[in-house]
Structure 1
Amino acid sequence: MTRPLDSLVIFIARVALSVLFLWSGAMKLLGYAGFVGYLHAKGVPFVQVGAPIAVAVEVLGGLALVLGVRIRALGLVMAVYTIVTAIFGHDFWNVTDAALQRDMVIHFWKNVAIAGGFLLLFVTGAGRISVDGARAPRLGLSG
């Protein structure tokens, strides 16, 4: 059980994490052909399967974060997804231009930090301000 302030902070964290994924997913969807081309250029395997999965994870995952639906499981899924995108999308070890490599290093570790936030959601759950919180049984004093 979480205190009301804890639930508010968890809600703010969920919304903050969701903004990045909702925006990114929408941009991928709106520029889908360019996104697929980017994945091909990065050498990502199974692009025809991976591209729609990426869009779905970002858009549906972002919505689930805001609503607080199945947050513990979602936290694990999003943590893994964020690490996978760091490896394929921010592969600084393959970049020779020093300025671009520095940028990629920053983005790689940013993704690792975001994955850490998702792991915290896995541990804390969604809090009371969520669909998960509304479903949770309440301890009452009746009886």
Structure 2
Amino acid sequence: MQYLSLDKYKNGFLLVARILLAILFVLFGWQKMMGFEGTVGYMASVGAPLPQLSAIIAVIVELVFGLLIVAGYFTRPLALLLAVYTVATAIIGHPYWSMTGMDQYMAMTNFFKNVSICGGFLLLAFTGPGSYSLDRK
């Protein structure tokens, strides 16, 4: 039984999904780049290894890879990389298991937000970018 067919809208939905998944990364990647010294300081405060290198990686992954996802270029491999990156940043940046009170609640919310975003990237890696993309797949 067919309950709802969205097949004719698939490519448009995939474009919207790519934009919605990537907008967070592009915006925060841009902020990290524009306030680079603050980004390095934040990386050091959360115990990221080699804070300056970690900040450079964060800018590239979030800003550059985010823009490439929007364009639909190298979508499947970048979606997989962003899925791994998103879980890694959840573990490093939102360790709610070591906190209490409101800090724990906020970190837990952000941790599971990242896990959910990872799910979106895994779906994108599986489905591909659609025909409204540079990959056209």
TM-score by length of 2: 0.92
Structure 1 stretches lacking a partner, 5+ long: 137-143
Q: 2:53 is matched by which residue type in structure 1?
A: V
Once residues 46 and 69 of structure 2 are traced to their aligned partners in structure 1, the CA distance between those partners, rounded to angstroms, is 28
- Give the greater-gyration-radius structure (CA): 1
TM-score by length of 1: 0.88
Q: Conserved in 1, the CA contact under 8 Å of 2:41 and 2:51?
A: no
The CA deviation at 1:4 is 4.3
The reply on whether 1:67 has 2:110 as its aligned counterpart is no
The reply on whether 1:123 has 2:126 as its aligned counterpart is yes
Give secondary structure in 2 for the equivalent of 1:131: coil
> Per-residue displacement from partner, 1:20-68 (whole Å, max 9, x unpaired)?
0010001101111111111111111122221101100011111101100
Give secondary structure in 2 for the equivalent of 1:45: coil
Once residues 101 and 25 of structure 1 are traced to their aligned partners in structure 2, the CA distance between those partners, rounded to angstroms, is 25
**Percentage identity across paired residues of the two chains:** 43
Once residues 75 and 38 of structure 2 are traced to their aligned partners in structure 1, the CA distance between those partners, rounded to angstroms, is 31
Once residues 4 and 60 of structure 1 are traced to their aligned partners in structure 2, the CA distance between those partners, rounded to angstroms, is 30
Query: 71, 77, 96: which is aligned to 2:81?
Result: 77
Instruction: Report 1:26-105 matches (<5 A).
Output: 26-96=30-100, 98-105=101-108
Aligned length: 132
Once residues 69 and 4 of structure 1 are traced to their aligned partners in structure 2, the CA distance between those partners, rounded to angstroms, is 22
Moved over 3 A (4+): none
